[in-house]
């Protein structure tokens, strides 16, 4: 058997082994994702915690996605607008308002989505600021790898300037707000007694992602490479290296 044919078959077997390894890796990722999803769903089904009891302690990852009940008054003038948020094919903004809790601390509450033709300006100043009680899901602040991206838009027609953010930047917001802010934020859940606006959506159930399909694809590639290696080794002497 020619050395070139042996070398080609060995290369194909190495490709097959690599594809098998990648298939196993994707299967491991799938198991990890399903385990994470199960923990998330268990957290969402747990009874609500009192946000006021959590604001003075460091936020633990185990609390993420737990339901929480917050009672206080919205500080509407200090609302944070997250720009360019989409609901289906409609452009809009996300409205995040500090809620003043008993004891002088505040928690940032994502109150939901408002339509905006340019994804920047909205009628958030008309939202009520009355004392209220709400239920939402506890959320951890994302690491500040990418700063909040504050942008100030000039007002038009006598309207005040509009400040928008690309993302919640807790460090920058804490420097601007006149009261301490909790180490977590709350995404308000839909409430039949308060349908909005803003629009609040029920969190989607987590899915398995693409890992299973990727695992199958890598397994198919491994089988194809292995079959090609066998054909190379079994090909009659003097024939083409690979069948056409």
Question: In this structure, are 182 and 81 located in the same domain?
Answer: yes
Distances (CA, A) of 174 to 103, 106, 164: 17, 10, 16
Q: What is the DSSP letter of 173?
A: H
Decide if 244 is inside a domain.
Answer: no
CA nearest neighbour of 98 among 163, 184, 159, 160: 184
Decide if 199 is inside a domain.
Answer: no
Do 76 and 97 form a contact (C-beta atoms < 8 A)? yes
Question: In this structure, are 74 and 94 located in the same domain?
Answer: yes
Residue span of the structural domain in which 24 resides:
3-40+210-234
Question: In this structure, are 173 and 60 located in the same domain?
Answer: yes
**Assigned token pair, 137:** 């899901």
pLDDT given at position 4: 78
Number of domains in the chain: 2
pLDDT digit of tens for each residue in the chain (244 aa)? 577 788 888 999 999 999 999 999 999 999 999 999 999 899 999 999 998 888 877 888 888 899 999 999 999 888 989 999 998 889 999 999 999 998 888 999 999 999 988 888 888 887 877 768 889 999 988 876 556 677 776 655 566 677 888 888 888 888 889 999 998 999 999 988 777 788 888 888 889 999 999 999 999 999 999 999 888 888 776 555 555 4
Decide if 193 is inside a domain.
Answer: no
Question: In this structure, are 29 and 58 located in the same domain?
Answer: no
Question: In this structure, are 225 and 143 located in the same domain?
Answer: no
């Amino acid at each position: 058997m020619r050395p070139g044919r042996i070398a080609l078959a060995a290369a194909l077997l190495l490709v097959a082994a690599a594809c098998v390894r990648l298939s196993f890796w994707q299967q491991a990722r799938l198991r990890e994702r399903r385990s994470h999803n199960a923990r998330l769903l268990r957290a969402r089904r747990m009874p609500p915690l009192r946000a006021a009891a959590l604001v003075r302690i460091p936020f633990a990852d185990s609390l993420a996605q737990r339901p929480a009940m917050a009672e206080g008054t919205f500080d509407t003038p200090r609302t944070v607008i997250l720009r360019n948020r989409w609901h289906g094919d409609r452009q809009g903004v996300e409205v995040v308002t500090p809620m003043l809790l008993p004891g002088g601390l505040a928690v940032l509450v994502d109150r939901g989505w408002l339509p905006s033709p340019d994804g920047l300006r909205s009628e958030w100043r008309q939202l009520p600021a009355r004392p209220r009680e709400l239920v939402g899901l506890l959320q951890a602040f994302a690491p500040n790898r990418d700063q909040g991206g504050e942008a100030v838009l000039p007002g038009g027609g006598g309207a005040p300037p509009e400040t928008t953010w690309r993302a919640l930047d807790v460090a920058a917001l804490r420097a601007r707000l006149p009261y301490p802010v909790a180490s977590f934020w709350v995404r308000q859940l839909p409430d039949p007694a308060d349908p909005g606006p803003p629009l609040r959506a029920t969190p989607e159930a987590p899915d398995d992602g693409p890992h299973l399909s990727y695992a199958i694809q890598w397994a198919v590639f491994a089988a194809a490479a292995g079959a090609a290696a066998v054909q190379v080794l079994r090909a009659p002497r003097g024939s083409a290296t690979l069948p056409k």
